[in-house]
Amino acid sequence: MTADFSTPTPLLLLADTSDQPMVPGAAVLRMETTSSRVGLFDGAWWPRSRDIEAQLPGLVTALTAQLGPIARVGLDASAWDRAPGHLVIDDRMVRIDWSAVEDHTMIITRGPQDHFSFLVIPLEADAAAAHAAMTMAIQDGNCTSAEQILADTGILPA
């Protein structure tokens, strides 16, 4: 049997959820599951509270359904009330790496070299600004920093 190379392999994209309502707790995804991703962010997340134990499991469960097991999550320590080193989510231990950078980003690690970058919308954002920031973050080829996106959408002072 010979392989047919005339038909290109389709790009593996996760569902684009950018047309769904933006509410606290929402994750907006437009993520390529290949190593040749372009743009700064693969998704955006708007948590409902500063309680990491309440907020992260739902996101990790949803991402696991699309991506497979999540090994690590990198978060900004200043955005959360507590900073545990790991959480057990759906009977799997997920390591949490904390930084003090205050850069409004989150890194999801699926495997040793497969990372997804998310913009994290501050809690105080209103729905219209959060929608605009989430949409801007996931545009193809976006290279705008989290701080600039949040300033451009009025969530943070310019």
Q: What is the pLDDT of residues 44-54, one digit of tens each?
A: 999 989 999 99
Helix residue spans in 74-145 (DSSP H):
127-137
pLDDT digits (tens, 9 = 90+) for 103-150: 999 999 987 778 889 999 999 999 899 989 988 998 878 899 999 999
C-alpha 124/C-alpha 127 separation (Å) is 9
pLDDT recorded at residue 92: 94
Amino acid at 152: D
